[in-house]
Amino acid sequence: MPMDLLAHVPGDRGWPVVGHTLSFVHDAAGLVERHRRAHGDVFRMRVLGREGVTFLTPQATREIYLDPGKVLSSERGWSSSIGPLFRNGLMLRDFDDHHRHRRVMQQAFSRAALTGYVDAIHDVTDRHLRGLPAGDVDVYVLMKRLTLDIAAEVFVGVSLGQQSERVNRAFQAAVAASITPLRVAVPGSTYRRGLRGRAELTRVFGELVAQRRREEPRGDLLSRLSHATTEDGELLPVDDVVDHMVFLMLAAHDTTTSTLAVMLWQLALHPAEQDRVAEEVRALGGAPVTPADHGRLEHTTRAMQEALRLSPPVPFSPRHALADVEITGVRVPAGHGVNVSSLALHRHPDWWTLPDAFDPDRFAPGREEHKQHSHLFVPFGGGAHLCIGNHVAEVMVKAIVARLLAGRRVTADPAAGVVIRPVPIPKPRGPMLLTVR
């Protein structure tokens, strides 16, 4: 029997073969909370065939994200889940390779570029909301369509038009496949559907790259990447451009969708908080939300932060130890996983007052619970892999909420029993109905 190199870490290996995978897929938050109560803030788990150590303290989160020894691989950490489906995105690159590719993409996320996206964000939002009738609407479905169209306009420079629904279904299939326990492409399986979805995304963006390379350079990210060159002066390989665009489009719309849906749902359940946000956005007088407005939209910002705390868009950040490493005094042998869980950290009772409650004022001056440690509130990750598009996401969220609540009110049934499934990206298990008035 092989030696158990994690014998010094509390916890267990779970069921034979599957480990804790089924519990993780069904109820990741409950699984982690049960382990925290039983074992404390450091414990072992085995998910999707990978055994590793999960850390639930902000100091451990800091050490993992900063990774001063460059021994924690993000690429290999994600390889057992999204790796085959969203290969070679920024999150799936390490160290110098990651730095080179991030530098190429960074120009599309500068403050000047962000200011240039404002009109497109508002134009697409207005088109979607113009025909929104009063009555019940599934806010998750509405936001998913809206954010995908915004991402296409901003980053691809075109409307996806009739392809939009097909691209949306392809993304949904690929995301669902990333955590399926049966990772074999047998006919009818979730994993096979995911691989077919990825193939469709590759086809769509491959055609767009070819089209861009026949044209003069434009201002959108797809055009910039299509004409970007390596240090040797060669164009980036088509596969690299496609991989970046597929991953970026996922990050730009799926994660923003979850934040918007949770934020609007909570505001619908808490009318006093909705009133504060609505009063603030109406004061804009219909003007677009710009990066300069961030400081003025105080209540909107805090409501968004609270939605990100309750439902972080990337609830787990796995890494793979390339060498033996010590994290907050706990030794993790080479070849094992290292996991950060913002989902659990953001609701840790040692750090947050009534952690399951929606309370935007916990971020207000005088309380500022998130400032107890630099890595207590980490909705966008940290270190070298800090989300490159976090400022774009903030503008999108605030712009959409401002446009929606400036002339409407949303309500929700507290008894609806909406449950958010946190992995791989937060999503309601069923309809998330709001009543729009």
Binding-site annotation: residue ranges for heme: 387
DSSP string of 249-291, one letter each residue = HHHHHHHHHHHHHHHHHHHHH-HHHHHHHHHHHHTTTTPPP-G
- Taking alpha carbons only, the member of 197, 210, 199 closest to residue 238 is 210
- Return the SS3 of 92: helix
The DSSP 8-state label assigned to residue 396 in this structure reads: H
Tokens of 388: 């490159």
Is the distance from CB of 171 to CB of 197 less than 8 angstroms? yes
Tokens of 250: 């996922």
Measured CA to CA in angstroms, residue 58 lies from 119, 179, 333, 374 at distances of 38, 26, 21, 8
- The length of the chain, given as a count of residues: 437
Angle CA(373)–CA(301)–CA(390) in degrees, nearest 5? 70
- Taking alpha carbons only, the member of 256, 281, 264, 277 closest to residue 412 is 264
**C-alpha–C-alpha distance, residues 23 and 309, integer Å:** 22
Residues tagged in the binding site annotation:
387
Is the distance from CB of 78 to CB of 98 less than 8 angstroms? no
**C-alpha–C-alpha distance, residues 134 and 436, integer Å:** 5
